[in-house]
């Protein structure tokens, strides 16, 4: 787990849910299954909205919850895929509780179980991406180098 890979992971992983929703909107718009067919400008607007989500919610959640969670996992030497998925879902579900006192919440916003379910999924997806960048990628490279070293 290099510091460089962790930095890259913290920069890229929070964008993953926004990117997936943008791709989903494009696919639904192209397939004609959506309620409204998406024009190019509609699709770009959807991408822009999800990019704003990443800036306004995903990165603050990463700073407040994700980075401390990473250091806890590092201290406990937890590197399994399952641990990151479960931890990501739990931390994602906690994100609304954590961010509400910091950023405030409009009174009209009703937090019901859907908010926590979606936040949980976003947290899980973000942690899977982070795990692929920070944990899996270096381990794969190390295993390949070790095999080459043994063979040579």
Residue 131 in domain: yes
> Is residue 152 situated within a structural domain?
no
pLDDT top residue among 109 and 129: 129
Overall number of domains in the chain: 1
pLDDT at 76: 94
| Structure confidence at residue 55 (pLDDT) | 83
pLDDT, tens digit, 9 for 90 and up, residues 23-62: 777 777 655 555 555 677 877 887 788 788 778 888 888 9
Domain of residue 56, residue span: 3-142
Band the pLDDT of 149: cuts 50, 70, 90: very low
Q: Does some domain include residue 93?
A: yes
Q: Give the pLDDT mean for 126-147.
A: 74
Q: Look at residue 145 and tell me whether its pLDDT is greater than 50.
A: no
- Within a domain: residue 151? no
Helices (H), the chain: 3-12, 16-31, 40-53, 59-61, 67-76, 81-103, 113-131, 137-151
């Amino acid at each position: 787990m290099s510091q460089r890979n962790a930095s890259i992971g913290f920069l890229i992983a929070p964008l993953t849910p926004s990117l997936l929703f943008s791709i989903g909107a494009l696919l639904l718009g192209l397939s004609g299954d959506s309620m409204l067919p998406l024009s190019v400008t509609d699709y770009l607007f959807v991408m822009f909205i999800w990019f704003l989500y990443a800036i306004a919610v995903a990165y603050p959640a990463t700073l407040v919850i994700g980075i401390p969670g990473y250091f806890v996992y590092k201290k406990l030497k937890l590197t399994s895929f399952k641990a990151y998925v479960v931890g990501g879902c739990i931390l994602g579900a906690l994100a609304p509780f954590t961010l509400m006192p910091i950023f405030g919440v409009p009174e009209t916003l009703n937090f019901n179980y859907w908010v926590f379910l979606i936040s949980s999924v976003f947290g899980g997806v973000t942690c899977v991406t982070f795990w692929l960048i920070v944990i899996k990628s270096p381990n794969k490279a190390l295993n390949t180098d070790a095999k080459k070293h043994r063979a040579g």
